[in-house]
Structure 1
Amino acid sequence: MGSAASQPQPLSEKSYTAPARREPASAADLLASLSLRNGKAPASPAVTSDNISSWADAFEKNPKNKFAQTVVHKQDFLSALVSRKTLVNDQQVFNVKIPVENQLVANQKSSGRCWLFAMTNIARLAATQKYGLAEDFELSQSYLFFVDSLSKANYFLEQMLDLAEEPLDDRTVQYLMVAPENDGGQFQMAVNIVEQFGLVPQAIFPESFHSSNTSKLDGLLTSKLREYALELRSLHAAAMRSLADVQGKSRLEKKEIASQSARKRKEEQMEEVYRILAISLGTPPKPDDEFTWEYYDKDKKYHKLVTTPLKFYKEFVTASGGGDLTRKISLIHDPRNEFNKLYTVSRLGNVVGGDPVLYINTEIKNLKDVAITLLKQGTPVWFGCDVGKSSNSTLGVMDTALYDLDEAFSTRINLTKAERISTGDSAMTHAMVLTAVHLDDAGKPVRWRVENSWGPDACTKGYMLMSDDWFSEHVFQVVADRRQVPKELVKIFETDQDKATVLPPWDPMGALAVTK
């Protein structure tokens, strides 16, 4: 894989309508305003007293501004500007729903493990239905957090070995140094973890303080990994100096020898990482080690299962109807880039040797159509979005019309989706699960029901309502089994992997779902 990122493309799909915006003044108008004959002073590059006087006069002359100031200045302005009309329209009523939802909504607490919770919420729902488990059954997100943190540390250090000869201020090196250890992830990263390490019930590896409150542990590991990276770079450089006069070896071969030498120290560093994790989170079962799980089903009947994490994942979770995770495909909507093409992000991953994170970029209508197909079949849908935009967790609503900024500030946000991504205003920050959709008489989506992972006391008993306009503007990714994906897109995924467009590590499509 490896080609330059595509240039931004104009929006072409009929289903996507960019918000209205005021057109900028023409160059001719701007030049005319600078005419020396109009008697006006030229615009100043600084904020002057004259500017402030003029702006203040304009503010005072509009009585709407004074009323808005009275209402807003002593409270959160978003709370003051919630649209009553929008809340009345956004009812939790749907005509397409999966047969059964998780009754006990999981709680990621003060962690960024939403991507893992979304995946395990889908898997536990299938297992609960097939095996008649109690409603409080959960898979261990703490176990996945442990093995993901361990794998991420190893993945980062291997990246540092590969980049050991690049300057320390190289943009890629610096970007990877920003957050070598964090809670965030992508769907394919979750698949890579469970394929290598398996799954266990939460009763086998329950939550700890630091799995539910991850910032301090992440901070400790981040500092240690930066320290380790500098040490590995130093060891690699020393090894290369020692090999400088060795004959019969190419530079590439010498680099590999130097990396192997430094890798011995990396194993010692990884032992320290494991120790920190085990002290903070507990000691998890190894992927092939047997554990005994004793539990009651929903009818209070006793059961006992002796298995391993990998067998539990393959024989219990996958066989329950959750499907083969390796057969799932990620569809994204990134209007900056060309549609109907495969994309990946350089150096994005968490498991050395795991499958790469691949996306098919396509029209937003395709994401919606695939999600509707799955929901009609009774299948919940993993999706990624920018949850902080036009949303309120207390009200349990995500709607582009939720806040009426224009009423108070006489302005609104006019950035298009492509512009928000390009300027850093938006990226995928959170992963959740779709469980229902309401369709109008023409079969078009109106609103969606979303299972969150902020516990039953947040949102509407743990569930949110998402308007279809919000889906268009702020949803980036939908994951589906390839059997439910249009054939032409599946063909792109299966035949173009060696031709995937490689985006740089800092591209917004490499953002990890990490909202806490």
Structure 2
Amino acid sequence: MSKSISNENIQKYQNDLSQRKEAKALQRAVSHNGINKTAANFSSEENMNPVFSLEVDAGDVANQKHSGRCWIFAALNTMRHHLAKNFNLAGDFELSQIYTTFWDKFEKSNWFLENIIKTADQPLTSRRVSWLLNSPQQDGGQWDMLCAVIEKYGVVPQSAMVETANSNDTTDLNSVLNLKLRKDATKLRKLVNDGSDDVESVKDEMLNEVYRILVYAFGEPVSKFNFEFRDKDNNYHVDKDLTPQKFFSKYVNLNLENYVSIINSPTDDKPYEKTYTIDMLGNVVGGRQVKHLNLSMDKLEELTIKQLKNGESVWFGSDVVQNSDRKKGIMDDGLYSKDELFDVDLSLSKAEQLDYHESAMDHAMVITGVDIVDGQPTKWKVENSWGNKVGTKGYFVMSESWFRRFTYQVVINKKYLSDEENEMQAQDPVVLDPWDPMGTLAFYKD
């Protein structure tokens, strides 16, 4: 039987508060300064000195501005590290994020329309249809979705296709695209349920309109270009009439099939050493499937260090809003003592964080260094994509404890996995519901 809050309850709570000698002082401090400033631990900042025993040369940070394209920026950053090293490029060289964004949004629109057709026999109140309509397309994504776009469309240098007002701030474009796609969904569901033969032709015209919207917002996607640059030694280079696919093959030259997603999800529904995918999550129809191998945090950490030691940075997904100071560029689960401040137990296990919706992967960045003391990692160097005015010229410091608690995914070259782990990764994946935490898209905006 439910029970309402009585006046006696409130009086009891007030009496308990009155017995606390520190209550008035804490009330003044919290109300005037805010929770985080009052709960801040200065020792955290002292321990997060941005010096590391192992670093990968990564160059200048990029800036996603007011868009949720962190996963694209992080992935292209790992690729430009590789490219810059092999071709002696300057530190400010970037690959075109808008080019990848154009094709991602175009493919996501088709993905949505295809799923609307597949679920047309389900009521609008079904959870899957509701989930689709909640966000027809958006800025966010996962590693395998990035690979699907690049494997189909290649990449280009930023000089070949530059950012626009609508890529720097995607709010209005997303609003227009989602309105259009929801409108299209009403038409397609009716056509399918009426048994019409026009479904494909109507969908084709819908995609034609999506393409037009994207061209107006981003410009026409480049199909051929000249790659012109000076290297660090000021030597001039030009490579003419390149296609995006040829540029990727010649300059980036990475086999994306070798890079796989390793997650740490210690929840009861996901046993370790199994692979998982997420129903209806993706962008390119017929492209690469989202697939995760779930391993222990010890193994995830070991693989990350292996890749760094070989000179390769590591794309990773985490819950960036938890216990982080954006301005100082610190991510540390000891940054704030909120439980001590309020005298309440706020602890949750990593599994409980996921199961009870307290935490999920919301941001993708790049690990470019680690500080190893007496054989153990103590803190990590992180390349963010929020420009150079935060942290240390855009780089953040992540404590070891934060890494273990709030990092959920890393992308690792299969050559660093054992034979047994590669066999695990090759398993057919268990299909999870669309709203599973491991299906959360990295989308956090600057």
Q: Within 1, Cα distance between the matches of 2:399 and 2:321?
A: 14
**Map of 2:331 onto structure 1:** 398
Give the Å deviation of 1:48: 2.0
Equivalent residues in 2 for 1:258-407, closer than 5 Å: 258=197, 261-285=198-222, 289-306=223-240, 307-318=242-253, 323-336=254-267, 337-407=270-340
Residue identity matched to 2:259: K
The answer (yes or no) to whether the contact 1:65–1:409 under 8 Å persists in 2 is no
Cα distance in 1, alignment partners of residues 431 and 86 from structure 2: 40
Paired position in structure 1 for 2:35? 77
After TM superposition, list the pairs within 5 Å mapping 1:446-485 onto structure 2.
Answer: 446-485=378-417
1:507 matches 2:416: no
Contact 1:405 1:412 in 2 (8 A): no
Kindly provide the CA deviation profile for residues 139-177 of structure 1, in whole angstroms up to 9, marking residues without a partner as x.
Answer: 000111111000000111011111111222211111011
**C-alpha separation between the residues in 1 aligned to 2:124 and 2:152?**
32
Alignment of 1:170-319 (within 5 A): 170-239=126-195, 258=197, 261-285=198-222, 289-306=223-240, 307-318=242-253
Q: Provide the aligned length of Structure 1 versus Structure 2.
A: 442
| Distance in 1 between residues matched to 2:20 and 2:362, nearest whole Å | 38
Deviation at 1:404, TM superposition (A): 1.0
Q: Distance in 2 between matches of 1:79 and 1:201?
A: 42
> C-alpha separation between the residues in 1 aligned to 2:386 and 2:174?
20
> How far has the Cα of 1:44 moved from its partner?
8.1
d(CA) in 2 for partners of 1:368 and 1:51? 48
Aligned position for 1:246: none
Structure 1's 268 and 483: CA in aligned 2 closer, same or farther, altered over 3 A? same
The CA distance in 2 between the partners of 1:296 and 1:44, in whole Å, is: 72
- In structure 2, distance between residues paired with 1:214 and 1:486: 41
For the Cα contact (< 8 Å) 2:260–2:412, is it kept in 1?
Answer: yes
C-alpha distance after superposition, 1:485-511 (max 9, x if no partner): 1221210122x22xx211011111110
Q: State the TM-score, normalizing by the size of structure 1.
A: 0.84
After the TM superposition, list the runs of 4 or more consecutive aligned residues in structure 1 that deviate by more than 4 angstroms.
Answer: none
- CA distance, structure 2, for counterparts of residue 107 and residue 74 of structure 1: 33
Q: Normalising by the residue count of structure 2, what TM-score does the alignment of the two structures yield?
A: 0.96
Q: Retained in 2: the 8 A contact 1:343–1:502?
A: yes
Equivalent position amino acid for 1:174 in 2: S
Instruction: Report the 3-state secondary structure (helix = DSSP H, G, I; strand = E; otherwise coil) of the residue aligned with 1:343.
Output: strand
- The one-letter amino acid paired with 1:293 is F
> Which residue number in structure 2 is paired with residue 255 of structure 1?
none
1:126 aligns with 2:58: no
- Aligned partner of 1:439: which letter? I
Which deviates more, 48-57 or 111-120? 48-57
Q: Does 1:101 align with 2:58?
A: yes
CA deviation profile, 1:298-330 (whole Å, cap 9, x unmatched): 233332222001111111112xxxx31121111
- Give the corresponding residue for 2:356: 423
User: How big is the shift at 1:132?
Assistant: 1.7
Q: Which amino acid aligns with 2:402?
A: W
* Structure of greater Rg: 1
The unaligned stretches of length 5 or more in structure 2 are none
Residue 65 in 1 paired to residue 54 in 2?
no
Offset of 1:429 from its aligned partner? 0.4
Which of the residues 57, 66, 73 maps onto 1:110? 66
Query: 1:147 corresponds to which residue?
Result: 103
**Unmatched segments (≥5 aa) in structure 1:** 1-42, 241-257
Q: Are 2:58 and 2:91, in contact at CA under 8 Å, matched by a contact in 1?
A: no
Structure 1 contact 65–408 (Cα < 8 Å) conserved: no
Question: Structure 2 CA distance, aligned partners of 1:444 and 1:299?
Answer: 38
In 2, Cα distance between the equivalents of 1:458 and 1:149? 29
CA contact (8 A) 1:346 1:505 kept: yes
> Whole-Å Cα distance in 2 between the matches of residues 52 and 420 of structure 1?
30
**Which AA in structure 1 matches 2:440?**
A
What is the DSSP-based 3-state SS (H/G/I as helix, E as strand, rest coil) of the residue aligned with 2:226?
Answer: strand
SS in structure 2 of the partner of residue 143 of structure 1: helix
- Deviations along 1:462-495, whole A, 9 cap, x unmatched? 111111111111100011110011221210122x
